[in-house]
Structure 1
């Protein structure tokens, strides 16, 4: 395969995230053949250009092309995703005596969520690898994003989502021309139907971390945070973790930038906080030692649809991030999320997804407990637009 000199991806290999065995990065892959766990992309970072090359590039996630896995720019399927704003929440900072409170608003991505990053990359790779189409189990936003990018790429899309998913997500998938299958249950039940529908393997299954490409799109959040902060990093990042791809990806980005010398010398990496819903908090339960792992965890629906992931494939990787960063995990209930949505709307003019409200309420809890200090710089991520969740929150303002 010829690599476009205008998009010099420095992709070198894929490695098993458990035993680190190498896998061919230039053919279609799912999970590792050795351990059945997620594969992670590795790049020749020693040849990375200086970060100054970014100045003249488009303000999308594709500006970080050397550390993305697409080999030929002709296969790029883009709707302008990435470079979302980093907002200063001065009103809430003053209200709670905080030195610095920032919010990265991923709801301003195409299709209204951070899922645009991962699915832009996954669908681009599907096109590059000659896939006949894509299939995904989803709690909502990921299915919408995949349907949109498949429409752009001219690829068939099959979206499998819970029947109780808010209508906005379903309707958008229909408008993009996707085949939408509804399931009674949560995303793990949708994954079972995906395996059945794709038994012949004709479609690229872009389930969370069951292919090595979505995480590479998601990690660009980490690159942008660093670039937007002049290659410094905040003290703490709070992230809503369902499947956990973004949490793992952001940390992967920080490690890559360390190796490339893109970060300010001796910058300290942030403590990472994973925020889950009280109705579905497998990572919290495992971290607390109340279960060995998430494999038998039973979750319940929550107004934060993206957090209803009872058995995340990336649990071990999320735990690694929390351990390496000195971070933690905690859960927020639905009433607290509604309170967070009201507070962000009424004091900062932001109508965030329940997942985004959850991370703000988690910050408040950690401040009250002393785990966070008021003099630290805190960054929270809102992963989607609150507009899509109106079915879940209507009348609860």
Structure 2
């Protein structure tokens, strides 16, 4: 039997410098995030793809391609292997016949952030970490604080005061040290940086530790496996910090190298952002390799309200290398798509997921998505977490009233 993990080391995608994965690491000396590298040649000779069929349906089924070296360090709530649902009624409505939604709202903590938290916290446990700190727009803070509690770690979570109430309560009930910041996630990030510097806390900020992305990339493995190792034509992803799209691209490249997917051409990766916070889409439109800080950003899709992502160059690389694109959607379009998805498929998706559905409609209308192409939209969380942002007009009846239909 092979090793539990085939992790070799960490590597900087900018300057190629390598770092040990046996000790705590954060950014490269050049300022870039670090990426985990695996011995794929050895794994290819020791693991057959079909062996996965008999494994539990959670993300740890891919443990050889994850960074935790000892199974005893795994902190899990059964996360991963979310359903990939064909949505024919919604597809007909927006003109995309082969439309699928991967529903991450059904994983623990109600969002895809549980993937990054599970792997990130597990590796932090393996490294002996006792305290972590992070800024968040809500869902990541909820996930990391709850997984940290399960691992017996202390967490310091800072989120904007406008973050969804449910995620605030999820974080607070975990016993985390929760603080609200009168500003954006970028403002919360500056406070976390001072905590890390002054108190030596483990910095769990987006891409400032190398392992969140390893949990997120399992979405890419699952999409391939759920399509019987034939990748779709297009994958659309709501993009804030961009870890999901970076991770999916990384996963697909690893599957190519293992020979587990045969396609020479990868799915076209689409970064979806809100009109009022679209730094990565703007950079893509201008052909740039990095984005600029987006002033006064705001959107009801709170999870993608990120004015500047530290890994923006990796997101843009994934878009360019797969012939993907960037799309912006309006607040009105997000709300319409959220209602449309619920009415036609019974799926109460989050605003970020709705942004992706709206983008798919837009790309089909423009001819960028062709007839018959297989299209996957990522819904990254439960709509119920954002219930306060949804306005409904419901009649109120007095007792004994007769309902006239």
User: Which residue is equivalent to 2:335?
Assistant: 338
In the TM superposition, residue 364 of structure 1 has moved relative to its aligned partner by 0.6
The unaligned stretches of length 5 or more in structure 1 are none
Q: How does 1:243-392 map to 2 (within 5 A)?
A: 243-263=241-261, 265-266=262-263, 268-289=265-286, 293-392=290-389
Q: Does 1:30 align with 2:26?
A: yes
Give 1:118's match in structure 2, choosing from 98, 116, 119. Answer: 116
- Does residue 1:186 correspond to 2:184, yes or no? yes
State how far apart, in whole Å, the 1-side matches of 2:305 and 2:150 are: 28
Question: In the alignment, which residue of structure 2 is the partner of 1:17?
Answer: 13
Question: Which protein is bigger by CA-based radius of gyration?
Answer: 2
Is 1:195 aligned to 2:190, yes or no?
no
Cα distance in 2 for partners of 1:66, 1:102 equals 28
Q: TM-score, normalised by structure 1?
A: 0.95
Deviation at 1:292, TM superposition (A): 7.8
Q: Could you tell me whether the CA contact under 8 Å between 2:4 and 2:71 is conserved in 1? A: no
Query: Does the 8 Å contact 2:231/2:263 carry over to 1?
Result: no
Q: SS at 2:371's partner residue?
A: coil
Q: Does the 8 Å contact 1:233/1:268 carry over to 2? A: no
Matches within 5 A, 1:135-284: 135-263=133-261, 265-266=262-263, 268-284=265-281
Specify whether residues 105 and 339 from structure 1 end up closer, same or farther in structure 2 by C-alpha distance, changes over 3 A only: same
Alignment of 1:92-107 (within 5 A): 92-107=90-105
Cα deviation, residue 294, structure 1: 3.0
Change (3 A) 1:396 1:178: farther
> Match of 1:40?
35
The 3-state SS of whatever aligns with 2:270 is: strand
CA distance in 1, matches of 2:3, 2:201: 26
Deviation at 1:279, TM superposition (A): 1.3
Q: Distance in 1 between matches of 2:172 and 2:92?
A: 44
Indicate if the aligned counterparts of 1:7 and 1:73 stay in contact, CA closer than 8 A.
no
Q: Is the 8 A contact 1:7 1:72 kept in 2?
A: no
Aligned partners of 2:279 and 2:293 also within 8 Å: no
CA deviation profile, 1:242-300 (whole Å, cap 9, x unmatched): 0000000001000000111111x345311000000111110011112298843433142
- TM score, norm. by length of structure 2: 0.93
